[in-house]
Structures are given as C-alpha cells and as structure tokens.
C-alpha cells in the first residue's frame, strides 16, 4: 500500500508512457523504479531488435508495438493505449532519469497547482557526462527562442514530464519525431496551461543514445526541433490572421 504521504497520489489514475527502442539492458530497471501508486505502465516498443518487449512484459507492464519509428510516434501510440486516466507521465526507457521521484512531477497536478509539469535537468543535479555539450547548447538555444517568441521561460526540453490528460487533449499533439517535446511546451503556452518546471536529477543512460550518441542523430534532432519551433510560429501567425481555419489553435479558449 502507498505510504501516508502518497495516498493523495494513489487517488488519481496515473499512466506512465515509456517509448523504447532497444533498451533491453535498462527497461526492467526503469519499470521496477516506478512508484507503486502508478496505475498503469505502457511500454511502446518502437521497432526494437532486441529483447526490450519481452523483458518489459515480464515485469507486468503493458507492451504495445509501434513499428513506425519516431519518438513522437511512440508517444502518440502510448497515449492511445493509456486507457481511462487522469494524468500521463512520459519517461525514457534508458534509466537516465529517476522514476522513483516521479511524485515531484505528479503532485502539483494532483493538488491542482499545475496542468503540465516539466522535469528540468538543468535545474537538477547531473552526473558528469550525462548531458552532453551539444545537448546543453541545443536545449538552451531552443528555450531561448521559445522565450523570445512566446514569452515563456523554459530551462530544458527534458523528456521526463507529466500532464493532465484533459490538458493534453487540448494540445492536439501531432509531431511524430524529435519535435514532440518542444511542440508540447509551445502548445502548452499557447493553450494557457498552468506550467511548472521542477528540478530532476539526471545520470548517464544505459546503452548508446539514438540521438546524442551519433553525429547524424544530433544534427537531425537539432534540425527537427528548430523546424518545429518555426512551424508552430507559422501556425500561430496564420491563426491570428484568420487564414488557418483548421488549426488546433482556433479551438483554444480566446482564439
């Protein structure tokens, strides 16, 4: 049974979505670290060629297969499989984050102090080598652009995040690749969500990163992130001009 301090968390339905690609060395440890008050764990096997899916199933997690590659694509599949839920938590499968500290992200939503909580690695403690220079610079530049264009000060694009499901529905997320995180953050601002950043610690991942571990991965991720920022700006401007009638922005309060 959850401890006294976590009974309020257990009163809400919380689903954790874990996009996973070749994470057989870490996935069971990630799942084992998730607090007992979490209602459901959904692992999205995004085309793994190792035993990721099998090891996740052995832990009792719900495993779904999404063969179409892409971080955002995996997250979208996980959302669709989450079922009836109050809060969604997104977490990587490489053990770089600390799932056992998930209450830092979920509690502000449970207590109705936030709609969307982002775990900031730059505000927390980082193991040496966990956040590479190219990651720090790219994140800093992306956050600077968001601050200049949307007047919201983020410090990170970290994958460890929690959001109330009704708030997520308002965002109409559609990015299927590396732009998922920054798209969510921009659309959360535009939708008027109550946003909170909390410090999260970060350690070196198990295995090689599919993005920062290769030069091509870094370049492609950077291009997609900045493309997404430009696309979201274009969507916003067209919505203001009234020339984008099908935009998700036109469905937001005050649009």
Domains of the chain: 4-246 (3.90.550.10)
Nearest-angstrom CA–CA distance, 214 and 99: 26
pTM: 0.87
- When pLDDT is averaged across residues 166-194 and rounded to a whole number, the result is 96
Strand ranges, E, within 37-193:
40-45, 62-65, 87-90, 116-120, 161-164
DSSP letter, residue 201: -
pLDDT of residue 67: 96
DSSP letter, residue 246: T
Q: What percentage of the chain carries pLDDT values higher than 90?
A: 75
For 69-115, what is each residue's pLDDT tens digit? 999 999 999 999 999 999 999 999 999 999 999 999 999 999 999 99
Nearest to 209 by CA among 225, 226, 224, 221: 221
Please say if the pLDDT value at position 142 is more than 80: yes
Please say if the pLDDT value at position 205 is more than 90: no
pLDDT of residue 6: 82
Mean pLDDT of the chain: 89
pLDDT of residue 5: 64
Query: Pick the residue with more confidence: 183 or 242?
Result: 183
**Any idea what the Cα angle at residue 98 is, between residues 94 and 99, rounded to 5°?**
90
| Count of C-beta atoms within a 10 Å radius of residue 164 | 22
- When pLDDT is averaged across residues 206-224 and rounded to a whole number, the result is 66
Nearest-angstrom CA–CA distance, 251 and 226: 25
pLDDT of residue 247: 37
Beta bridge partners of 116: 163, 195
Please say if the pLDDT value at position 53 is more than 80: yes
3-state helix, strand, coil in the chain (%, to 5): 40, 15, 45
Pull the structure tokens for residue 67. 């063969």
Query: Pick the residue with more confidence: 135 or 112?
Result: 112
For 186-201, what is each residue's pLDDT tens digit? 999 999 999 999 999 9
pLDDT of residue 217: 60
Nearest-angstrom CA–CA distance, 161 and 124: 14
8 Å CB contact between 45 and 64 = yes
pLDDT of residue 254: 35
| Count of C-beta atoms within a 10 Å radius of residue 249 | 19
- When pLDDT is averaged across residues 51-68 and rounded to a whole number, the result is 98
pLDDT of residue 220: 73
Sheet holding 116-120, edge to edge: 62-65, 40-45, 14-20, 87-90, 161-164, 116-120, 195-199
């Amino acid at each position: 049974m959850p401890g006294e301090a976590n009974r309020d968390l257990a009163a809400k339905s919380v689903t954790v979505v874990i996009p996973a690609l070749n994470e057989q060395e870490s996935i069971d440890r990630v799942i084992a670290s998730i607090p007992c008050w979490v209602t459901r764990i959904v692992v999205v096997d995004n085309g793994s060629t190792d035993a990721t899916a099998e090891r996740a199933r052995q832990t009792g997690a719900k495993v779904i297969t999404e063969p179409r590659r892409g971080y955002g694509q995996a997250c979208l599949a996980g959302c669709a499989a989450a079922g009836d839920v109050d809060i969604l938590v997104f977490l990587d499968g490489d053990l770089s984050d600390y799932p056992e500290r998930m209450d830092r992200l979920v509690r502000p939503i449970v207590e109705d102090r936030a709609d969307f909580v982002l775990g900031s690695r730059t505000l927390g403690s980082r193991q040496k080598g966990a956040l590479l220079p190219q990651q720090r610079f790219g994140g800093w530049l992306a956050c600077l652009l968001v601050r200049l264009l949307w007047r919201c000060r983020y410090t990170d694009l970290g994958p460890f995040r929690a959001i109330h499901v009704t708030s997520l529905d308002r965002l109409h997320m559609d990015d299927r690749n590396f732009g998922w995180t920054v798209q969510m953050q921009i659309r959360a601002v535009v939708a008027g969500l109550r946003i909170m950043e909390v410090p999260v610690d970060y350690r070196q991942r198990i295995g090689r990163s599919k993005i920062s571990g290769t030069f091509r991965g870094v370049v492609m991720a950077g291009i997609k992130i900045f493309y997404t920022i430009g696309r979201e700006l274009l969507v916003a401007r067209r919505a203001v001009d009234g020339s984008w009638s099908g935009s998700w922005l036109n469905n937001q309060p005050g649009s």
